[in-house]
């Protein structure tokens, strides 16, 4: 698998000489495993005048990024649903597959850093928020019957346990360097292991969903919800047992203490020493 890029194209809190919002494209490479050095990942940025905001300008910028990088990515991830048509067309015209995704951890960190340290130093900076268009998310869907786990359970690993993740026997999965999230080696990382006789098909299906995060939701009955893509979510399990509810609540608290970092693994049985699927996850609050 080649590199994966994360892309944002949107207005910034900066006004030009005509008092119009300045737009910017940010492109960065996704970290794909725990040993990735964040500073080694490709980054590209370019401001765009408000009069030139269109898919043609964006496609040209993407092609410039490819020329700078020296290679084309295997696909592009983006999170702004309101920019779906423009970003999708620009990427497709550049010959690159594109997917809506909330798995934009590198981009999220970079955008946060630029909001705090770069844009305030630009001429025409306008303090305060740079509002995005909020779109309602659909209700969580029920998993297809063939993909429901037969058993599952909460587990906890130390952050240092993930140092050997590249050596684990994993058919489908993705990680990222925990240091990028400010996680120390002794931080407990909570997770969920799902066991299924159809572990490999289940992991293959999940690998195409752009996994974002797993959360405990007790607002409409206790349940584990898997967030995927730009807005999709799936009910991994409904929870009625009081003891399991307590474990789920503990998982949620541990997830928050670990800066939102957690994981999901899929195995054929508790005795298996391999993973059909394993993903490190982090919930990000999108702008």
Residue 68 resides in a domain: yes
Q: How confident is the model at residue 182 (pLDDT cuts 50, 70, 90)?
A: confident
166/85 same-domain check: no
pLDDT band at 149 (very low <50, low <70, confident <90, very high): confident
168: in domain: yes
- Looking at 121, 155, 182, the residue that finishes a domain is 121
Say yes or no: 148 and 275 in one domain: yes
Same domain, 49 and 156: no
| Separation of alpha carbons 86 and 100, rounded Å | 12
pLDDT band at 27 (very low <50, low <70, confident <90, very high): very high
* pLDDT at residue 161 is higher than 70: yes
Rounded distance, CA 29 to CA 76, Å?
9
Question: Across residues 149-161, what is the average pLDDT?
Answer: 92
- pLDDT higher than 80, residue 215: yes
Provide the pLDDT confidence category of residue 131 given band limits of 50, 70 and 90. low
**264/213 same-domain check:** yes
Co-location of 54 and 182 in the same domain: no
Angle between helices 55-69 and 84-93 (to 10 degrees): 50
How much is the CA Rg of the chain, to the nearest whole Å?
20
User: What mean pLDDT value characterizes the chain?
Assistant: 92
Residues 263 and 154: their CA atoms lie apart, in Å, by 10
Residue 203 lies in a domain: yes
Round to whole Å and give the CA distance between 53 and 58: 8
Domain membership of residue 187 as a residue range? 141-282
pLDDT at 136: 66
- Does the pLDDT value for residue 129 go beyond 70? no
Better-predicted residue by pLDDT, 133 or 49: 49
Residue 63, pLDDT score: 98
pLDDT confidence band for 130 (50 / 70 / 90): low
Q: Do 72 and 27 share a structural domain?
A: yes
Both 153 and 98 in one domain: the answer is no
In a domain, 126, yes or no: no
Residue with the bigger pLDDT between 2 and 199: it is 199
User: What is the Cα–Cα distance from 54 to 102, expressed in whole angstroms?
Assistant: 23
DSSP β-bridge partners for residue 263: 191, 280
Last residue of some domain: 86, 121, 156? 121
Give yes or no: residues 152 and 91 share one domain: no
Q: Are 185 and 78 in a shared domain?
A: no
Q: What percent of the chain has pLDDT over 70?
A: 96
103 within 8 A of 210, measured Cβ to Cβ: yes
Contact 5, 79 (CB under 8 A): no
The pLDDT score that the predictor gives to residue 162 is 95
User: Does residue 79 lie in a domain region?
Assistant: yes
HSE, CB side, 13 Å, CA atoms: give it for residue 152. 22
Reported pTM? 0.92
Encoded tokens for 144: 């297809």
Can you read off the two tokens belonging to residue 159? 């952050």
15-19, 186-190, 220-224, 240-244: least confidently modelled range: 220-224
pLDDT value at 173 more than 80: yes
Q: How far apart are CA 250 and CA 117, in angstroms?
A: 35
* Span 92-119, pLDDT tens digits: 999 999 999 999 999 999 999 999 999 9
Helices (H), the chain: 55-69, 84-93, 105-117, 199-207, 242-257
Q: How many domains does the chain have?
A: 2
Rounded Cα distance, 129 and 126, in Å: 9
């Amino acid at each position: 698998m080649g590199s994966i890029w994360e892309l944002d194209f949107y207005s910034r809190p900066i006004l030009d000489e005509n008092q119009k919002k300045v737009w910017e494209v940010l492109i960065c490479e996704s970290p794909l495993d725990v040993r990735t050095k964040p500073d080694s990942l490709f980054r590209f940025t370019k401001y765009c005048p408000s009069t030139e905001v269109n898919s043609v300008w964006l496609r040209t910028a993407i092609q410039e990024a490819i020329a700078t990088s020296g290679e084309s990515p295997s696909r592009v991830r983006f999170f702004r649903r309101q920019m779906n048509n423009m970003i999708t067309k620009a990427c497709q015209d550049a010959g690159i597959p594109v997917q809506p995704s909330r798995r934009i951890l590198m981009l999220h960190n970079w955008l946060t850093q630029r909001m705090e340290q770069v844009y305030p130093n630009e001429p025409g900076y306008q303090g305060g928020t740079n509002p995005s268009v909020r779109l309602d998310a659909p209700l969580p869907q029920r998993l297809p019957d063939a993909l429901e786990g037969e058993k599952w359970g909460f587990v906890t690993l130390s952050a240092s346990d993930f140092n050997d993740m590249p050596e684990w026997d994993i058919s489908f999965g993705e990680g990222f360097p925990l240091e990028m999230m400010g996680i120390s080696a002794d931080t407990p990382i909570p997770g969920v292991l799902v066991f299924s006789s159809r572990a490999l098909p289940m992991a293959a299906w999940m690998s195409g969903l752009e996994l974002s995060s797993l959360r405990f939701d007790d607002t409409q009955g206790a349940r584990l919800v898997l967030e995927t893509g730009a807005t999709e979510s799936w009910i991994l399990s409904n929870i009625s047992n009081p003891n399991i509810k307590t474990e789920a609540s503990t998982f949620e608290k541990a997830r928050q203490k670990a800066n939102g970092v957690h994981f999901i693994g899929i195995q054929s049985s508790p005795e298996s020493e391999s993973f059909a699927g394993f993903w490190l996850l982090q919930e990000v609050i999108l702008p």
